[in-house]
Amino acid sequence: MSGRPEPKDGSVGTPLLARLLDTKSVVAKFLIRLLAPLLTCILILLLAIGHFTRTDMMDGIDNDVEAFASSISRVVDGLMWNLQTEEMVSALGAISANSALLGAEIFTEKGKLFISYGITPEDRIPGLLTVTRDIYRRLPDGGRVEMGTLKVHYTHAFADKEFRSLFAMQTMMILGVIATILSIASFTFNRTVSRPLRKLLTAIHETGRTGAWTRVDWESDDEIGEVIHAHNAMLDLLGAKEEDLAESERRYRHLFDNALVGIYHVDADGIVTEANQTVAQLMGYSSMERAGRINARNHYARPKDMERLRAILTSQGEVFRFRTRLRRVDGSEFWAELSGRLNADGSFNGILQDVTDLVEARHALEERDELHRAFFEENKAVMLLHDPVDSSIQFVNPAACQFYGYTAEELTSMTIRQLDCMTDEEIYRELKLAAEEHRGYFKHLHTQKDGTRRHVEVFTGPISLGNRQLYYSIVHDVTEKRRLEAKLERMATRDQLTGAYNRHAFFQMSRREVERARRFGHPLALLMFDLDHFKQVNDTYGHATGDEVLRVFALRCRADLRQSDIFARLGGEEFAALLVETGAEQAEEAAERIRQLALAQPIPTESGPLIVTASIGIASLEGEESVADLLKRADMGLYEAKQAGRNTVRKA
C-alpha cells in the first residue's frame, strides 16, 4: 500500500534456489523437516512394494509350473501306456517354452528312471525346485493303473533377475514423481507462505522504524491471508483506538468542565491547582481562572473538620463522603460532602457536592421518625412489626408486652405463628372468609404467656422500614365481645330447652344444604320425629318431667347422628333431622336405630325411668324440591307411622 518497491536484500525478491540453500528460510526449514520422514516413508513404501511384487511373481511361477505339470502328466500317461518313448521326449520338450522350467524326469511305478530331459537334481543347480505328479491309466471300470511318476524341475532365478530390473525402474519412477512433487511444493510454499510472510515482516519492520501503521498488500483466502487480514484489521483497530483515545480525552475534559459535582486538585500546601466550573460556582467565584491562587484551608467553616479530614487521609489514604460546612467568598456557609484520594506527593484529588438540601431533609426525617417512634411506643393498642417471609417478630410496643406477658426480647425472638393457636387450615379459612366478607381485619385466637387464650381482631398492612418490607399489625382484644356474640348467636339459633337448632336456624341451614345437594348431585334425606303419647307424660308427671324427656331424647339423637347432620326441635315434641349426603336406605337405617334407641333405653326422671317411643317419617330429596316440600313429605311419612300404630318408621 505504501507504493515502495520490494527490497532487494533477499527478503522478498531472493531467488527460490538461494532461499532453499539458506537454512534460516522458511522453505529450507520446511524441506529439512519434511525430508527425513518423507524419505523414511518412501523407503518403507518401496520395500513393501518390492516385497509384494516379488511374492506375486514367485507365486505366479509356482502356479504356472503346477498347471504345466498337471497338463503334461495327462499327455504322458497315454504315451507311456503305449511305450511311445520318442513322443514322450517330444512332449517333455515343451519345457523350453517357459524360461523358469529347467527339466523333467519320468520314473516307472517301481521308482526307476525311465526318461530324463534337461537339467535334473544330479546337475546340482542352486535353488532348483521340483513339482511331482503321478502317471496312471484310468480303466473303463473306474479303477486306475499306476504307471510311474513325473517330476518337473524349475527355478526362480530368472524371475529374481526380472524382479530386480522391474523394481529399479519403479524406484526411479517413484523418486522422479517425489522430486517433482517436492519442487512443486517448494514453489507453491514459497508463493503462498514464504512470500506473504516476508511482506508481513517488512511491514512490521517499517512500522517499528517510522511509527506509522504500515498495512500489508496481500489478499488470499487461506490461513496466511487470514493472518495478514487480522494484522491489517489490528492496525485499523489501533488507529481507531488512537482516535477514540483522543476523543475520550476531549470528552473527559468536557465532562470535567461541565460536571454537576465539583472536581478539583489540591497540592500538598492546600493550593487549588485545578478545578472545574462547578467548584467555582459552589465557592462563589465567577471562574477558577479569575480566582487566582485559592487556599482551600481558608474555606473551612470549622477548622476542626479540616484537621479531622487530614487525619483520615493520613491514616487511610482516601475519604468518602466526608461531611463538613464550607464558607463561600461572600461569607455564607453550606453543607458539603468531600470524597477523594491522597496522592503519593501529598496532593489530593477530590469531588465536592452541595448536600445542604439532603442534610435538612434528613433532619426533618429524623424528627418524623421520632414522632413515629413515640406514636408506636406510647400507644395503648397492641402493635407488632413482623417479617412476612419467616413470620419473625421484629418490633413490639410496651402495650404488646403487657398484653401477651412476654418481655420485648422474648417476643422478638418468636414468630407470629407462635402466638396464634389456630391451625393452618383454620387460618386459611379465616383469610378466605375475610376476603369474601370484605373485612379489613382477621379474627384469630392468640395465646398469652400464662396459656390464656384470647380472641383478637388483627388489622394488618404492609410498611417499609428502610429497604425492608414488613407487616404492621394492630391487635385488639375482643374476647368479651366474642363471648357475647356466641351467647347471642346461641340464643338466636338454639332451642333453649334441648340445645338443638330452633326452627328458624333449621330452615336457614337446610336451604343451603338442599342447594348444595342439587348443585353437586348428592343425596339428601329428612327425618321427622314425634314422641308418642307425649301429652300423657305432661298430664301424668308434669311439665318438668316432660321437659326432661324432651331434653334427654334430643341429647341422645344428637349423639347418634353425625356432626354434619342438622338436628332441630320444630316445636313441642316434634323434631327434625336433615341427613346430608345420605340416601334413602341409609336414612331408614338411621331412623330405625333412633326408634330402637328410644324404645330400649328408658329416660331417667324424678318420677322414675320412662319409656317414650317415637314415630318417624322419612323423605328423600327429589328433583327441584324445596325444604318446605321435603318437610311436607316427611310429615306425611310421620302421619302414616302414627296411623300404623306409632313406634314405627315410614317413608313418604
Pick the CATH number of 259-361 from 3.90.1170.50, 3.40.50.1370, 3.30.450.20, 3.40.630.30: 3.30.450.20
Nearest to 129 by CA among 62, 67, 181: 62
Which CB contacts under 8 angstroms, 24+ apart, belong to 169-176?
170/46, 170/49, 170/50, 170/53, 171/46, 174/42, 174/45, 174/46, 175/42
The residue annotated as part of the active site, out of 573, 589, 606, 640, is 573
At residue 323, φ and ψ (nearest 5 deg) are -100, 135
Q: How far apart are CA 490 and CA 311, in angstroms?
A: 78
- One fold for 259-361 and 379-483: yes
pLDDT of residue 373: 72
DSSP 345: T
Low-confidence ranges of the chain (pLDDT < 50): 1-14, 16
56-155 is classed in which CATH architecture?
2-Layer Sandwich (3.30)
What SS3 string covers 265-282?
Answer: EECCCCEEEEECHHHHHH
Query: Which residue in this structure is represented by grid cell 334425606?
Result: 525
Q: How far apart are CA 531 and CA 603, in angstroms?
A: 13
Beta strands in 277-417 (DSSP E): 294-295, 318-327, 333-342, 348-354, 382-386, 393-396
The CA distances from residue 361 to 357, 368, 619, in Å, are 6, 10, 77
C-beta separation of 150 from 69 below 8 A: yes
At residue 569, φ and ψ (nearest 5 deg) are -100, 115
Q: How far apart are CA 314 and CA 634, in angstroms?
A: 100
- CA 94-95-98 angle, to 5 degrees, is 110
Q: Domain extents for the chain? A: 56-155, 259-361, 379-483, 494-651
Q: Quick check: is 573 catalytic?
A: yes
pLDDT of residue 291: 65
Beta bridge partners of 465: 468
C-beta separation of 197 from 11 below 8 A: no
Is the domain defined by 379-483 classed in CATH 3.30.450.20?
Answer: yes
**Reported pTM:** 0.36
What SS3 string covers 618-634?
Answer: EEECCCCCCHHHHHHHH
C-beta separation of 439 from 446 below 8 A: no
pLDDT of residue 565: 95
The CA distances from residue 43 to 171, 233, 554, in Å, are 10, 47, 118
At residue 473, φ and ψ (nearest 5 deg) are -120, 130
The CATH homologous superfamily for domain 494-651 is Reverse transcriptase/Diguanylate cyclase domain (3.30.70.270)
Beta bridge partners of 137: 145
Supply 258's cell numbers.
461541565
Q: Which amino acid is at 172?
A: M
